[in-house]
Amino acid sequence: MKISRNWLSEYIDLTVDTNELVDKIKLHSTNVEGVETLGNGIKGVIVGKVLEIENHPNADRIIICKVDVGDKLLQILTADKSVKVNDLVPVAIDGAILAGNFKIKSRKMRGIMSEGMMCSLEELGLEEKSEYVYKIPENIEPGTDFINYLKLKDDIIDIEVFPNRPDLLSYFGVANEFIAINVAKNFGYPEILNLEKGNGFPVHIEYDGCKRYAALVMENVEVKPSPSWLVKKLATAGIRSINNIVDITNYVLLETGHPVHAFDLDLIGEKIIVRKANKGEKIVLLDEKEYEMNGTETLITDGEKILALGGIMGGQDSGINENTKRILLEVAYFDPVNIRKSARYHKISSDSSYRFERGVDPNDTEFVMGRLAYLIQKLANGEVKSVMTDIYPEKINKKKVYIRKTYLEERLGISIADEDINNILNRLGFDSEKDNKGFNVTIPTKRPDITEEIDLIEEIGRIYGYHNIPSQLPINNLVGGVSNYIHFREKLSEIMRLNGFNEAFTFAFMDNSRMWLKKGEVFLKNPISSELGTMRSLLVYGILESASYNFRNQNRNIKLFEIGKNFLKDESSETGVKEVEKLAFIAIGEENPYDYTDKRYISFYTFKGSLDNLFEYFGIEAEFKRENIEGLSYSQSANIYIKGEYIGFIGKIDNDIAKDIYDINQPVYISEIDIEKLYKFKHMKKNKVVLTEYPSMRRDYSILIDNKITFLDIKNIILKTGKKLVEEIKIFDIYKGKNIDEGKLSLTITVTYRAKDRTLTDDEVNVIAKKTIEELHDKLNIQVRI
């Protein structure tokens, strides 16, 4: 919100200079985003009257003007052919300095001397871009210093307005705030017309999206350019002047913080009906765009056609134009939640919606309408021709909040005298009554952010000044420390980095249409965007998106991991959501891209090796079971179990999914495991210690198997048969192709046997090997060749 010091001084007497004012705002109220010194350095601009105009003999686009500047006539050339005889214009004379330190000198233009320049609002620093020379609507004596007349020299303070402080979106609100922080005094309201209320223009409210609607008819208005002072004030707020009626509505919005609207009475019907939108209805608004309703909006209609999208923007077919003679003024109060949802749905951000969705004062309607009527009467010669209609079905009353003195001292950490508390509350515009234990405080409806005791304590604290409260460290006997689980998570991260993976941190919000393995179950009510409307059901989705981004940007060797939470629906939870902490990792590309002699690409087995390293470090013995996992290759995927309990999965993504969803045309390996369960099972078996006191013996089993048989099935039989003598089982070789029937696989497995208490004999191991061969044949129908 940009605040003009000159304009603000019309309501209050400021008692400090601009530098001190900015310091006080930062200490007690809000942030200051910048201060602009308007008109700084601009000089030599006076009022001129155009007496004669003729065409330039050597340039079709330039006209020659004779301009009266009070004590002499100047010849000024311009390309703006909208300039007419008798126009009053700002003239920068020889030696003048304009905005941007632009200096004016007399010079020839296509052979004819120009003794100055006619100025637009751009040259005066009031607009970023102007198309025409500014025409002064008032009758001012030529030669008048226009900079002084316009009071152009001004300080513009740009304050940041947080969503909980809608009162600061108006000059009245800022003026009251400055009195509260003790940098101003003597607030005074401007003049208004006292209006009589009754059965004026017919209004019917049929939807609770509108809580109050007031209407007033004014006739014989003259639509014309606004006076210079109004143009300048709106310009300081970044608003371009349109005409006097539209400018007055914008002026009152800035002054009071309450959005208002004016309809051309001859373009609408004979009544106003405020109703809920029907799905599919369409309206063209003042931004010249057509909008289709979703069925929840608040509409202003005349019973037949839509006049405005309530609280957001007026319709194009009912707006003020140069032929308007009769107007209907609207001052309403709309439900903030409804306005916020409608504005976001239609992607409209107007000055009105910005204020309504944060909350305006529902009880300043009569003042706002009186102010509108006064200005239209004064600046447009409008006449009030009826009483004011005011439909207010359910009055919104002031809130009452009680402050306990002990609670205030506990929260702020200091004791503030009762007299000082009462003085602060009164400066804030709150009525208060003291009793033995605290204060009964009445909150005006212009402060919708104050609802509870703690809100009032914050107000007292900031006005008193947090910088005035002594700082001290809290006294406690707590002993800090890091839990075993946190140490466990840190070690997980360390092991993954040692395995060559880089850690990633991704959004928990996802697009549900891109969740192919497990759809999302938890949906956001107000997502950042439609593509981020679902909480992730699997952690791996985030690093897959990161891998996709890297791959599309020519980084083809990717190893990423993330430790984070996924979110599942859980009705038994207090929040309705179950959060599970997972480890997810992904690998694509070369095994060792930094070694040009290593031509290997990541395979399922090297990828699985990273997980094996993890399990081995924590002393965990996991089982990998080949099962059908949607979206993963059946021959290169598995679900992972520890003691029969499912903890996650590992596998290669189907090529079609990798290409269609992620634009990756190389093998993509992913895994995700539940680290909360992993933590539960860690150290369930001690790391193996190989005793070298007794030698080991090795047997190789060359077997022909059906490719549907899993290694886990074979491993379990070998372990069961060899019992405690089996030390290690490894796959030595895999072969399929020539001389091997289709659907079959030749596999060579090496088994190491060792006893802890003796040296094994060949006969003893041969017995075990024979038993193993029999079991493999009987249980799995496997042909074994030693």
Q: Is 133 within 8 Å of 119 (Cβ atoms)?
A: yes
Condensed to tens digits (0 to 9), the pLDDT of residues 102-125 reads: 999 999 888 899 999 999 999 999
Alpha helices in 599-701 (DSSP H): 604-617, 655-662, 675-681
The answer, yes or no, to whether residue 477 has pLDDT greater than 70, is no
Whole-number Å distance between alpha carbons of 430 and 444: 7
Whole-number Å distance between alpha carbons of 599 and 723: 40
Q: Which two tokens stand for residue 647?
A: 């903890």
| DSSP character string of 410-446 | HHHSS---HHHHHHHHHHTT-EEEE-SSEEEEEEPTT
- How many other CB atoms are there within 10 angstroms of residue 329's CB atom? 27
Report the pLDDT value the prediction gives residue 690, as an integer from 0 to 100.
Answer: 52
Q: Is 45 within 8 Å of 51 (Cβ atoms)?
A: no
Whole-number Å distance between alpha carbons of 166 and 176: 13
Report the pLDDT value the prediction gives residue 496, as an integer from 0 to 100.
Answer: 94
Of the listed ranges 329-343, 436-450, 736-750, the one predicted with least confidence: 736-750
477: left (phi over 0), alpha (psi -120 to 50) or beta: alpha
Q: Is 369 within 8 Å of 273 (Cβ atoms)?
A: no
Q: Is the pTM of this model over 0.85?
A: no
Report the pLDDT value the prediction gives residue 368, as an integer from 0 to 100.
Answer: 96
Report the pLDDT value the prediction gives residue 445, as an integer from 0 to 100.
Answer: 94
Mean pLDDT calculated for residue range 355-377: 95
3-state percent breakdown (helix, strand, coil) of the chain, nearest 5: 30, 30, 40
Helix (H) or strand (E) holding 747: strand 744-753
Beta bridge partners of 623: 641
Whole-number Å distance between alpha carbons of 96 and 76: 14
Condensed to tens digits (0 to 9), the pLDDT of residues 524-561 reads: 888 888 788 899 999 999 999 999 999 999 898 999 99
Whole-number Å distance between alpha carbons of 387 and 199: 7
Q: Which two tokens stand for residue 74?
A: 């100047």
Condensed to tens digits (0 to 9), the pLDDT of residues 674-683 reads: 999 999 988 7
Strands 697-706, 783-785: pairing is antiparallel
